Amino acid sequence: MSGRMELVCPAGTPATLRAAVLAGADAVYCGFRDETNARNFPGLNFSSQEMAEGIRFAHGNGSKVLVAINTFARAENTDLWRKAADTAAACGADAVIAADIAVLDHMANSHPRTRLHLSVQAAAATPEAISFYAQAFGVRRVVLPRVLSVQEIAVLNRAIDVETEAFVFGGLCVMMEGRCHLSSYATGKSPNLNGVCSSPEAVSYVEDAEGTTARLAGFTIDRFGAGEPAGYPTLCKGRFTAGDKTGYLFEDPVSLNAGSMIVALKSAGVTALKIEGRQRGKGYVTEVVRAFRRAVDAAESGGDPVEIDGILAGLSEGGRQTTGAYRKTWR
């Protein structure tokens, strides 16, 4: 791949957008304050005015803004998604990130000058699937599911004529994106429809002499000893008893950190590197973006690799890091 890789960074609020831009983001992705984006949590996201102001700030500092409209439209209220798409285009978004075919179709027909990026929620990981979206809607970039090895990404890039964006830091999910049913089973709210995974109103903590019990919609997700930090009760990262063993049955609490894979991802043809974390604050965003800015710049210049694993260990879930599927050793 020719050209410099783009560093795409999260912004859950106007303040974190500014922080990401000033820390060195090439592009920032964010969403509106409603169910049209997959981080629909209280206190996060943007009004239409805040989005317009954020885009002006980013453009004034040489950065792009990508608007995530990446949940799936509800049959009884498609107007909400249509309005979000129209507003993003009117605000001057550099691209809209979408998964729903109706949203993609509306953007392609009503706002053909706005770039379309295919959200990871679409779970497109084959040349045939990606080519369909490119031919039908003019999609220019696909955000790859976090289930592919570097070798598989390289093979995929040779078979498509679309940019690819790969996650390099942040939360992992046991589910193939766009296919999550665990949270909706427990809480009645779906990450793919409502934009909420393990919704805060369903979370409770119960203290007793032995420690803390974390619950989600009445389900016990984890227990922590006295004085042990109590994590957020995300169902797929809970500790459960199966047979005679108790442990993280679905997924360990651990963060993706592919900082050591930047050169390999570039060689595989990846166009953009994505940091996850729109629910994170300014301090987290600033530190992570700065670290990856240095690492990407070093990789692009052919200089010595920048070691960032130690720098970011304290910002990783459970204090643990993994390269995920990029160094896939299983089948």
Q: Domains, the chain, ranges and CATH?
A: 6-172+254-327 (3.20.20.70), 182-248 (no CATH)
Residue with tokens 């694993």: 309
Residue with tokens 């679905």: 250
pLDDT in tens, 26-63: 999 999 999 999 889 889 999 999 999 999 999 999 99
Q: What is the pLDDT of residues 211-250, one digit of tens each?
A: 999 898 888 888 888 888 777 787 777 888 888 888 876 6
As a whole number, mean pLDDT of residues 251-268 equals: 88
Confidence class for position 110, pLDDT limits 50, 70, 90: very high
Token couple for 207? 């203290």
Asked whether 275 and 165 are in contact (CB, 8 A), the reply is no
Task: Give me the mean pLDDT over the 81-91 stretch.
Answer: 98
Residue for token pair 């791949």: 1
Backbone angles phi, psi at 117, to 5 degrees: -115, 140
Q: Are 231 and 237 in contact (CB under 8 A)?
A: yes
Q: What is the pTM of this model?
A: 0.86
- Closest Cα to residue 26, out of 65, 63, 70? 63
Structure tokens at 103: 């949203």
Task: Output the average pLDDT for the chain.
Answer: 89
| C-alpha–C-alpha distance, residues 53 and 286, integer Å | 20
Which range (98-107, 164-173, 184-193, 216-225) has the least confidence?
A: 184-193
In which band, very low, low, confident or very high, does the pLDDT at 321 lie, cut at 50, 70 and 90? confident
| pLDDT (tens digit per residue) in 265-315 | 999 999 999 999 998 999 999 999 999 999 999 999 988 888 887 878 778
In this prediction, residue 185 has a pLDDT band, given cuts at 50, 70 and 90, of confident
Nearest to 146 by CA among 276, 237, 297, 239: 276
Q: What distance, in Å, lies between the first and last C-alpha atoms of the chain?
A: 28
Amino acid identity for residue 83 in this structure: K
From 105, 25, 38, select the one nearest 67 (Cα to Cα).
Answer: 38
User: What is the band of 1 on the pLDDT scale with cuts at 50, 70, 90?
Assistant: very low
* Residue 66: pLDDT band with limits 50, 70, 90: very high
Q: Which of 27, 30, 31 is nearest to 7 (CA)?
A: 27
pLDDT in tens, 187-198: 888 776 676 777
Closest to 195 in 3D by CA, of 316, 56, 32: 32
| Paired strand residues for 65 | 28
In this structure, the strands spanning 163-171 and 255-257 are antiparallel
How many residues are given for the chain? 331
Phi, psi of 169 (to 5 degrees): -155, 145
